[in-house]
Structure 1
Amino acid sequence: MRSPRVSAAALAAAVTATVACVALTEGTASAANSTLTVNVASPFRPVSHVGAGGLYALAENNRPADSMLLPLKLHTLTQPAPRVGQRPNGQPPGGDALLVAPQATRVGAAEYIRMPDIYPNFPYQWVSWNDWLAKVDTQVNDRLAATGTSNIAGWELWNEPDYTWNTSAAGDFNAGWVRTYQRVRARDTLTPIVGPSTAAYNESWMRSFLTNARNTNTLPDVICWHELQNSANIAAHIANYRALEASLGISPRRISINEYATPTEIDQPGPVASYIAKFERGGVDNAHRAFWYEYGTVNGLTVNNQPTGSWWLYKWYGDMAGNMVVTTPRAQTGLDGFASHDPTRRIVNAVFGGESGTNYVRFTGLSSLGSQVRVLVESTPASGRFTQVSAPTTISNTTATVTGGELTVTVPNMNATSGYHIAIQPTSGVPSYQQRYEAENAAIFRANRFGSSSASAGAYVGQIDNTGDPRTASYVDFVVNVPTARAYTMRIGYANATGATATHGLAYNGGAWSTVSYPPTGAWGQFGATVSTSVTLRAGYNVIRLAKGAPFFAGGTGYAELDYIELT
């Protein structure tokens, strides 16, 4: 978190894109200002919406409204400490991680707790070690007492130590990290620890930190730093960190970029698309929109519980399912984007921006969609934080011929600050709404994704376990969107090689628990078996939970791996 470097008025100015037409051409584009290549036949990770997170995204238990959050498929949030004292940009304290946990849970989001936000000021004003350690104890005790809260994914021990740590008063940060880490672990041995959360990536700083943490057995479970300058160096930073990690003999850590985008970029869909693209390609676990202004808006995605222009870019992202596919920009600056292919719905989605003028998106590997496809192209403006945008602008919705598995979409008159979306589907034979939801695309708590050639879309969720503790209970939350309120048959693809029937708990929209039984199957990671049950859903978005363990549920029996759910 930093204070804004530019005026709010300048950022709130609406920027609109006027696109006269979109030309669809077969094969490869000729001379172009810039071309983004999307290789649909090259999936590289399941869709998990890693970039859909926010710092101080939630203010209370209902701001923004759930209806604004569910379409975004939020991944992980960083929220202030229990008994928060932090007054961001002069606002009253808010967003206590434990107080907003019910809403985060309702929309399928995990949370990191930012521990130093128990202090009121930023940069933090150090008092004493006795004061800090007492505050650490209080936070951990509060979390342990919150037995109904199971979405806490990590303790962030400090924030931007390269900017906020008071060495003259508190001593060396590396020593302070060890002391704080050990204090948390004395009470909580289970919750992951996140850090060092530097304001910027710096190899020498990170080397010193990692070496000391390795030598003192205090390595964070999740490595974290911030990307607050621009997106151009993200790929280099990730590569440098991975090489550094390996050179020190440290096993690969999950990477969190829990603050990203500059004060001017945060309200501009075009530049944000470039950040998300680099996070996806770089394999980060989660990334959070930076906090620069008001809390409780997912940092400018909503205004008075209505969408801004930037909200629509994250809605397009939230609509992605199946697998992320390889996108290749011309350079690390300018036109960039991310894309997915859902083989069940037979749809390809690409979201991009960051360049003005005439540009091209070249799709390859489209053969599975057939020779005739419908191509929807739309845009969303950089409307600022205070301007509602009721819907994206449809640029074109036409049919095109795929030749040799390729199609190039020409987009003239682009605005570098606007976001753009292309959706490609066959002209016939596609479902009217998404019916199959892959487990690996869902919100996964304390379980893991695996690959299997027999699994739908090539992946599944396994290691779903439970010890009776809300810090280790495993469950999978599916955020689904159905056209009408009614009872749906829910078919579940699974594997269970225990030799006996296994069970999970089933609940939806926070309602009562029932039990799903999984008869034994031949082998782990081998799919084809299904069971069916009935769920009564409301029109629109719903959250369906399958749990081995979760608050207010006694726990399932045996073990089962999840491939998908299908609503018909």
Structure 2
Amino acid sequence: MKLALKRVLPRRAPAQRALSRLSVLALIVGASLVSPAGPAQAAGNTLTVDVGSVVRPVTHVGSGGLYGVGSNTKPTTDQLLPLSPHGFTQPPPGTTHLGNGATEPCCDALGVADNITRAGAQQLIRMPDIYPTFPYRWQGWADWEQKVRTMVQDRLAATSTTNIRGWELWNEPDWTWDTAAAGSFNAGWTRTHRLIRSLDPVTPIVGPSDSYYSHDRMVSFLRNARDTNTLPDVIVWHELTDMDWDNFDDHVADYRAIERSLGISPREIAINEYNSLSQMDIPSVAVHWISVLERHGAREAHRAYWYEAGTFDGLFTLQGQPTASYWAYRWYGTQAGNVVRTTPQSWLDGVAAYDSSRKIVNVVLGGDSGNNSVRVNGLGSFGSSVRVTVNAVPGSGRHTHVAAPTVLSTSTMPVSNGTVTVPVNGMTAEGAYQVVVTPAGGPTSAWQQVYEAENANVVNAQTRASSGASNGSYVGGIDGTADMRSQSFVDFTVNVPTARTYTMAVRYANGTGATSTHGLAYNGGAFSTVSYPPTAGWGQFGTTTVTVSLRAGYNMIRLAKGSPNFPGGTGYAELDSITLS
């Protein structure tokens, strides 16, 4: 989507639940930030958080952006790291694209790859953004196929770039594909898919990337892709209309039903453009989106590109300063451990995580005005009272610098039957809020020391569940060494209080019966070797200890079976967590 082409999108009829809220739509945040208004029944709502009900490991699904990174230094890596970005979609190498009034092309995937890697994220390459204009001007099949060959060859030549996790074959074909000149999109998908696979049989292919979810188009696309053996590895569509968060669960359910009906194995879902132009600057709307994306099973989601490249789609001003929405994403970025179940009421919604290593419940919420509350259940291990902090940011947009959140309250509250109800008073419908709950004496450690592998940037490996793992999950299948497309590693983003040497305990499993090894590097430095003596079996964990010299603040630590500048580990090992002390 590009700013100059704002339009009303057709869409599948929403569920009755969404229709019943239509009368509220005009009153809620989507109308305007100039004259904000709350919902008709604003106050007295409760967001319920169930600490013991795990949804998934924290991976910050919603913390991504389309054209979110503008260069190798914009935003800076130090600005990106606190946001825990999950993924980006960037233009291809050799791009000539001029998006949203830009006067020169920017930020191709290979040019910004180092910045994104340092920030612990991966990226998709949007191939049709090789063209200068949007909508794209088709120049014929010979031209397109030559462009595809060049883009793929340029990527394959970038042997040190490990963070490309997908070719996005086209963008919004429901209205940008030139059927008259190029033939049907389904046939064009098959032809292009086969060409890419002849050049690069490894990198995933993602699509179809329609501008809105359409049942009929999805059925047609998937049936053709199944029958021609050109199924995408990851399914993609966009969510760009006002209030579409209220329909996302319906879209996911419908898509899964189509997969089953066509006998297609489940694909991961990426929403690589989300949020509408009119609501993009509203922090509470971002919270709505993050909440449903986490709740309903997206792998990743990227903020839509309505604004200038390199501002993380409005999280930073043009001068590179944080906006109000930035702080909502930063709160979200500090979540660790497991995402736990939240139950919204009326327009009050949120995403919550529980870090059991520090006993921190971190809730990010918004969407209603007036006096509301957050009820947190499952706090039996916290003791008879808890410390509660409530923070807030206003509903201001992308041109307003917000230097820091406002602390609304810090208090000690009693716990009754494992439950505390936290008042969040004076809410605005557009603002975002954070509720942090810890034991009365504070977190169990002054800074985060335990980092779960499943919360990290997992590349060419799999997250698996196990009751024997420290947080219920671990990372296995860390097996790839062939080249930059298939090398396997886990990148941990850690945040330490002082520059010094730290002891790092690696909790691992090794069922090979012999000592295995990984490469260890941090902050782009040289690799050393970590040895893993045999454990009792796969999914049965032991600990090995090494030392690392870290700078104050954020650091990136890589444990790799295969990685550029590393000859490759021996044997195999699974990773549960690292602990710094």
Report SS of the residue matched to 1:327. strand
Report SS of the residue matched to 1:233. helix
Q: What runs of 5+ residues in structure 2 fail to find an aligned partner? A: 7-29
- What's 2:460 paired with? 446
Q: What runs of 5+ residues in structure 1 fail to find an aligned partner? A: 18-30
- What's 2:298 paired with? 284
> 5 Å matches for 1:329-408?
329-331=344-346, 334-408=347-421
In the TM superposition, residue 422 of structure 1 has moved relative to its aligned partner by: 0.3
Letter in 2 for 1:64: P
- What's 2:58 paired with? 47
Matched, 1:70 2:66: no
Matched, 1:171 2:186: no
Change in CA separation of 1:281 and 1:183 when aligned onto 2, cut-off 3 Å: same
Matched, 1:320 2:335: yes
Change in CA separation of 1:32 and 1:364 when aligned onto 2, cut-off 3 Å: farther
**Could you list the per-position Cα deviations for residues 228-253 of structure 1 after superposition, in whole angstroms to 9, with x for gaps in the alignment?**
01211111101111111111110000
How many residues are treated as equivalent by the alignment?
551
In the TM superposition, residue 33 of structure 1 has moved relative to its aligned partner by: 3.3
Letter in 1 for 2:83: L
Letter in 2 for 1:396: S
> 5 Å matches for 1:162-241?
162-229=174-241, 230=243, 231-241=245-255
Report SS of the residue matched to 2:52. strand
Change in CA separation of 1:15 and 1:103 when aligned onto 2, cut-off 3 Å: farther
Matched, 1:33 2:44: yes
Matched, 1:122 2:137: no
Please provide the CA RMSD for this pair: 1.9
Letter in 2 for 1:349: N
Which of 162, 168, 176 pairs up with 1:156?
168
**Could you list the per-position Cα deviations for residues 192-216 of structure 1 after superposition, in whole angstroms to 9, with x for gaps in the alignment?**
0000000000000100000000000
Report SS of the residue matched to 2:3. coil
Change in CA separation of 1:278 and 1:261 when aligned onto 2, cut-off 3 Å: same
In the TM superposition, residue 32 of structure 1 has moved relative to its aligned partner by: 5.8
In the TM superposition, residue 70 of structure 1 has moved relative to its aligned partner by: 0.4
Query: Mean alpha-carbon deviation: is it higher for 354-363 or for 338-347?
Result: 354-363
- What's 2:9 paired with? none
In the TM superposition, residue 411 of structure 1 has moved relative to its aligned partner by: 1.6
Matched, 1:136 2:145: no
- What's 2:320 paired with? 305
Q: How many angstroms apart in 2 are the aligned matches of 1:202 and 1:425?
A: 44
In the TM superposition, residue 412 of structure 1 has moved relative to its aligned partner by: 2.1
Change in CA separation of 1:310 and 1:11 when aligned onto 2, cut-off 3 Å: farther
**Could you list the per-position Cα deviations for residues 32-90 of structure 1 after superposition, in whole angstroms to 9, with x for gaps in the alignment?**
63221111110121000111100001111111111110001111100001101110012
> 5 Å matches for 1:481-500?
481-500=495-514
Report SS of the residue matched to 2:345. coil
Does the aligned pair in 1 maintain the 2:460–2:480 contact within 8 Å? no
Q: How many angstroms apart in 2 are the aligned matches of 1:57 and 1:402?
A: 42
Q: How many angstroms apart in 1 are the aligned matches of 2:491 and 2:36?
A: 36
Q: How many angstroms apart in 2 are the aligned matches of 1:339 and 1:480?
A: 20
Does the aligned pair in 2 maintain the 1:324–1:341 contact within 8 Å? yes
- What's 1:25 paired with? none
In the TM superposition, residue 266 of structure 1 has moved relative to its aligned partner by: 1.6
Letter in 2 for 1:3: L
Matched, 1:419 2:439: no
Q: How many angstroms apart in 1 are the aligned matches of 2:246 and 2:479?
A: 40
Change in CA separation of 1:558 and 1:301 when aligned onto 2, cut-off 3 Å: same
- What's 1:84 paired with? 95
Q: How many angstroms apart in 2 are the aligned matches of 1:4 and 1:60?
A: 23
Matched, 1:243 2:257: yes
In the TM superposition, residue 12 of structure 1 has moved relative to its aligned partner by: 11
In the TM superposition, residue 384 of structure 1 has moved relative to its aligned partner by: 1.4
Does the aligned pair in 2 maintain the 1:54–1:288 contact within 8 Å? yes
- What's 1:95 paired with? 107
Q: How many angstroms apart in 2 are the aligned matches of 1:239 and 1:358?
A: 34
- What's 2:282 paired with? 268
**Could you list the per-position Cα deviations for residues 379-429 of structure 1 after superposition, in whole angstroms to 9, with x for gaps in the alignment?**
112321122111111000100011011111222221111111000000126
Q: How many angstroms apart in 1 are the aligned matches of 2:384 and 2:266?
A: 43
Does the aligned pair in 2 maintain the 1:14–1:387 contact within 8 Å? no
Identity of matched residues, %: 57
TM-score, scaled relative to structure 1: 0.94
